[in-house]
Structure 1
Amino acid sequence: MDPSFWHQRWEKNEIAFHESKANPLLVKHFKELSLLKGRRIFVPLCGKTLDIAWLVSHGYHVAGAELSQVAIEQLFIELGAQPEISTVGELEQWSANNIDIFVGNIFALSRKILGPADAIYDRAALVAFPEEMRKRYAAHLIEITGKAPQLMICYDYDQRLMDGPPFSISNDEVRRHYANHYDLTLISSTDVSGGLKGKCPAKENVWLLRNK
């Protein structure tokens, strides 16, 4: 997918995917990661999600990656924090209050630049990529985090009924991307109330990925 698609969405404020509170599935299932307070969790394609504030308020450090500078400017304004900004490789690092956000193309983010990642919370990343990019993304995520455990939220629906994003991720596809590296547990599968975007029936699935 062309990066300009996401830049335009943020510049036009077409961000229906942005939630007005911490994701209820994160709040309910985060404990499954068994992550000690003070650990660092990576949130790919984070936007200005309120999940970041929720994680920090519960004692965690957060690293994020986001293509849109507009989104990250809004994130820090809404957090009431003044970030320090530095250039790291092809990315900018915005840091304040136990938060480090890497602004730019996630594929330019290396393990060295990212630093330690004790876990991954993927709510809106895998589902944001079209099919031809998801294998590359999953492999990149494994590489830069050292196969950190994941809490992942995705949608499963008939892709013929609606164009993504969010794209449909079947259970079989999750296994194709991750089963060689993780033990996979589908910990929740619920119907999307009213259908996805009001257009088609869908399941919202929560996966726990633990190192083999």
Structure 2
Amino acid sequence: MENAWLARWREGRIGFHRDAPHPALRRHWPGLAVPAGTKVLVPLCGKSLDMRWLARQGHPVLGIELAPEAVEQFLAEGGEPVSRYRQAGFEVCRQGSVELWRGDVFHFHIEQAAEIGAFYDRAALIALPPATRQRYAFHLAQLIPPGARGLLVALTRAPGEEQAGPPFHVSEAEVRELFAPNFRLTLLARGEPEAGSGFREHVWALVRRGPLDEA
């Protein structure tokens, strides 16, 4: 699966990329009341313009992305100076208040996540096959401190196409099963099926549970 995503970026097959910030982010992020200045983790970020939108709301952003093409395109389109360095096995590029860590999200650990206080997932969960999603949900929980909030956008596929992907079909029931042990979940919205694709998004607010929370 990792090689498949890298091939998509090399070949320019990135129909999943949006040329504007995601409507669900603009609509629902303010309701999370994440304080300005809170660093936001964006796993499997691609070259998403959602990161620039979050930065404009006053958030430092830390994106994690495996494909070098995605990182370089994001930086080139930003048109601002870039600083580069290596840390903990990642190549890190900083442009304004956005820093991109190029590498495997599963190699990003709590030592690097010390300043993170929120997260946004529009492309990570749905990019992962079923066998990897449980690992991802647990890993994300280890990176997010108690009380931290996040926004998750998942999608379902039309009946009969549930096994296709990526992006993969992730039902509302699976989201609850994956994240409820470590997060409080609120379903914020169900989108209408997208014409021509059959995709239907569902949007969630998540709050990391603390040690005294009951599942």
TM range, smaller chain: over 0.9
* Separation in structure 1 between the aligned mates of residue 73 and residue 81 of structure 2, nearest angstrom: 11
Q: Shift of the alpha carbon at 1:157?
A: 2.5
Deviating 4+ runs (over 3 angstroms): none
Match of 2:94 in 1: 95
Deviation at 1:203, TM superposition (A): 2.1
Shift of 1:211: 3.1
Determine the structure 1 residue equivalent to 2:123: 124
Q: Distance between the aligned counterparts of 1:160 and 1:131, measured in 2?
A: 17
Aligned twin of 1:153:
153
What does residue 213 of structure 2 align with? none
Structure 1 residue 7 displacement after superposition: 1.2
Deviations 1:31-83 (A, max 9, x none): 12211111111111101111111111121110110001111111011111232
Structure 1 gap ranges (5+) = none
Contact 2:34–2:149 under 8 Å retained in 1? no
What is the number of equivalent residue pairs in this alignment? 207
Matching residue's letter, 2:204: W
Comparing 104-113 with 159-168, which one deviates more in the overlay?
159-168
CA deviation vs aligned residue, 1:151-203 (integer Å, no higher than 9, x gap): 00010235742611110111111111111112111100011231xxx24x332
- CA apart distance, 1:90: 2.2
Q: Which one-letter code corresponds to 2:194 in the other structure?
A: S
Question: SS of the counterpart of 1:192?
Answer: coil
* 1:1-212 superposed matches below 5 A: 1=1, 3-146=2-145, 148-158=148-158, 160-161=160-161, 163-194=164-195, 198-199=196-197, 201-212=198-209
Q: Return the alpha-carbon distance in structure 2 between the equivalents of residues 59 and 87 of structure 1.
A: 25
Give TM-score, length-normalised by structure 1: 0.92
1:122–1:151 Cα contact (<8 Å) kept: yes
Over aligned residues, Cα RMSD in angstroms? 1.5
Q: Secondary structure at the match of 2:93?
A: strand
Unaligned runs of 5+ in 2: 210-215
TM-score, structure 2 length as denominator? 0.91
